Each structure stands twice: as structure tokens, then as C-alpha cells.
Amino acid sequence: MTVASWVLHVDLDQFLAAVEVLRRPELAGRPVVVGGKGDPTQRAVVATASYEARRFGVRSGMPLRTAAARCPDAVFLPADNAHYEAVSQEVMAVLRARPGVVVEVMGWDEAFVGADTDDPEALAAEIRGAVRAATRLECSVGIGDNMLRAKIATEFAKPGTGGGAYRLTAANWAEVMFDRPTRALWGIGAKTARKLADRGIHTVRELAGTDPAALAAELGPALGPWYVQLGRGIGRAEVEGTPWVARSRSHETTFQTDLADWADVREQVVALARRVAAEIRAEDRPAARVAVKVRFTPFSTYTRSATLEAPTLDADRFAAAALEVLEKFTSRRPVRLLGVRAEFTRP
């Protein structure tokens, strides 16, 4: 056996629902839907549905109202982000505790692990056991020769389809992926899949065989060639362990009742700006730009932004700048959502 460099993608199963069931064991086996304030009559969407709820067709991103229609017996729970963040950190600590590994966190419920080993399946089994022992949570592990393949491999490792781990490398990429739609690739969404289909590219095989320069001309100088690389299973192989430096900080709110009075809109923008300002001050990261997002009824969404005269940590100045940007909007249609974002200077 030779020691090689591997990428493992660790993905917690039905994370939010599983965490809620842990603190309320009587919910085990029941359809559980986590999202919003846990009130399916409110404007909010599903953050995570348990596998039992998914059997009724409940999916992430679906309005809670729809989820309730599909699964009237589901238990609806409010999202408790602070708790999920804490549990997530426990899991990441378990991953980082393995000797010699590099961990790159991708969200609350997933991380890449870079490791040199002659038996990645054994490492995957060790990780699953360690996470289970420390947190009582289940996870699936994708094994790959780069991050793209490891990430996609996780889909084949999930409960119901896989046995907890799955290996996807250059050796079986064509066999496993070539007949699948381009949408199966990490980075190709519904819109891009349609654009590719319009050009006669439906499968991963067809994408892999496309001339990168031709796609550059049609879909952009960077994106076009990148899509072809995705089709070929090529991606970053080095997992980065250095802490992520955020580019921006933002808050947004969807109002349960649209704001019809522009005075209320101004007031809410100031409140959001002050929340953002408090956070960037706590992080000591001055805002260089401010952006304001407005979603009018029914759903048209626009963003306006401006570079500040000088980067600032001052809440009054930041809020004033946000109000100034808000004035770039001239429509006075009812407002469904407001957002304020601070962008940091690039180091």
C-alpha cells in the first residue's frame, strides 16, 4: 500500500433536524421540519427537513406553508442558529483532532478533510465513528482525489443510497458521472444547466468534451472554461486549513407584512445598518462599502451600493451612508424585504 494524498468531504446527515431530535428524543422517527420561527403560517422557508418529512416531498428552501400542506403531521421547529453553530464547532473540533489532517469548513454541516493515507475508507470510518461518539450525530463521507470529486461522492454515500462513504476519482469519474445531467455537478445550477442544454450540452460527458475556448466566448472568460473542467472532474486538490477571512457582513429581513410607508422603510434600514455596524465593530473590520437591498412586492429585488469616503467602524456614519444609498431607490412600491451589507477592504 502506498500513502497518497486524499480529500474527504464530511457532511452531516439532516443536520438541523438531527440536532433537534437529540434534544427532544420523543421526536425520533417523526417528520421534523426546521425553519423560520417554526410557524408554518409565516413567511419563511424550510432550512432542514428530516428524512421522514422528505418522504412527503418536503425539501430545503420550500415555503413552510407548502411543507405544512404536504406533511400536515410534521413537527415544525424554529431555527436555533446559535445552538447549531455550537454543535457544528464540536463536530469541527472532532475532525481537527485527527493527527496530520487539514480541515476546511464549508458551512455548519460540512467540511473538507485533507489527509495522507493508504486507506481513505478506513479514515472515513474512523471519522464517522468519532463524530458519532462525540456528538451522537451521523455523517456521510465522500472520498476523492480532489475537492470536487469528494463533494460529489458524498451524494453517493448518503443514507438510502450509500453505505456512509463512497470513493470518486479519475479512475471511475467517467463511469459514474458521464451519463448524468450537468446539473449533478457542484457549481452548475438550474440556470447554467439550461444555458448548456440550449447549446446541445446535456450530460457530463458532453460538457467534458466541449472546447473550453468556445464556451469562454459564450459563457464568460472564466466561467466557460471552468464548466468544462467541472465536466472532467478537475478541481482544487489542496485542502486549505487557514482561517477564512470574510469579505462582507450583512443582515436582511423579510417583513411578515409589507412596508407601505417609506418612513418605516428608512427606520428599518437604520436598524439593520446598526446591527451590521455592531458586528463589524466587534470584529474590528471597517466597512469600505455599503449596499442596500430592497425587495418590492411581489418579488422584484434590487441592490444599490456605494463606496464610503473612508472605511468606518462608526455606527452613525455607517447608518447615514446606508440611508443615502436607500435614496437611490425612487420607487415607493410596498417593500417586502430590506437588507444592509458591509463590504470590507481586501487585505
Partner DNA sequence: TCTGGGGTCCTAGGACCC
Residue 94 CB neighbour total at 10 angstroms: 20
Strands (DSSP E) found in the chain: 4-12, 32-34, 48-49, 75-77, 102-107, 110-117, 139-144, 165-168, 248-259, 287-296, 301-312, 335-344
Cβ proximity to DNA: between 100 and 160 the closer is 160
Sole binder of DNA in the list 104, 109, 139, 326 (CB under 7 A): 109
Sole binder of DNA in the list 263, 299, 330, 347 (CB under 7 A): 299
Residue 150 · residue 9 · CB < 8 Å: yes
Indicate whether 47 belongs to the interface with DNA (CB under 7 A).
Answer: yes
Give the separation between CA 233 and CA 123, rounded to whole angstroms.
Answer: 23
Sole binder of DNA in the list 78, 187, 212, 311 (CB under 7 A): 187
Stretch that binds DNA, among 136-144, 166-174, 232-240, 251-259 (CB under 7 A): 251-259
139-144 β-sheet, strand order: 102-107, 110-117, 4-12, 139-144, 165-168
Stretch that binds DNA, among 92-100, 165-173, 246-254, 310-318 (CB under 7 A): 246-254
Give the separation between CA 249 and CA 291, rounded to whole angstroms.
Answer: 10
Indicate whether 189 belongs to the interface with DNA (CB under 7 A).
Answer: yes
- We find the least distance from the C-beta atom of residue 167 to DNA, in angstroms, to be 19
Known catalytic residue: 104? no
Indicate whether 82 belongs to the interface with DNA (CB under 7 A).
Answer: no
Indicate whether 345 belongs to the interface with DNA (CB under 7 A).
Answer: no
Helices (H), 169-314: 173-177, 190-198, 204-208, 212-219, 223-231, 262-283
Cβ proximity to DNA: between 117 and 185 the closer is 185
Indicate whether 84 belongs to the interface with DNA (CB under 7 A).
Answer: no
Q: Which residues neighbour 222 within 8 Å (Cβ) at sequence distance 6 or greater?
A: 216
Q: Residues binding DNA: what is the number (CB under 7 A)?
A: 55
Indicate whether 310 belongs to the interface with DNA (CB under 7 A).
Answer: no
Stretch that binds DNA, among 127-135, 168-176, 215-223, 262-270 (CB under 7 A): 215-223
Instruction: Round to the nearest angstrom and report the end-to-end CA distance of the chain.
Output: 43
Residue window 190-209: x/- pattern of binding to DNA, with contact defined by CB under 7 A:
xxxx----------------
**Among the options 85, 110, 279, 327, which is catalytic?**
110
Indicate whether 92 belongs to the interface with DNA (CB under 7 A).
Answer: no
Residue 10 CB neighbour total at 10 angstroms: 28
Single out the residue of 101, 53, 103, 96 nearest to residue 73, CA to CA. 53
Sole binder of DNA in the list 30, 43, 199, 281 (CB under 7 A): 43
Give the separation between CA 178 and CA 210, rounded to whole angstroms.
Answer: 13
Chain contacts with DNA (rule: CB under 7 A): 36, 43-45, 47, 60-61, 63, 65-66, 69, 106-110, 151, 185-193, 220-224, 246-254, 289, 291, 298-299, 302-307, 328, 336-337, 339, 341
Residues classed as catalytic: 110
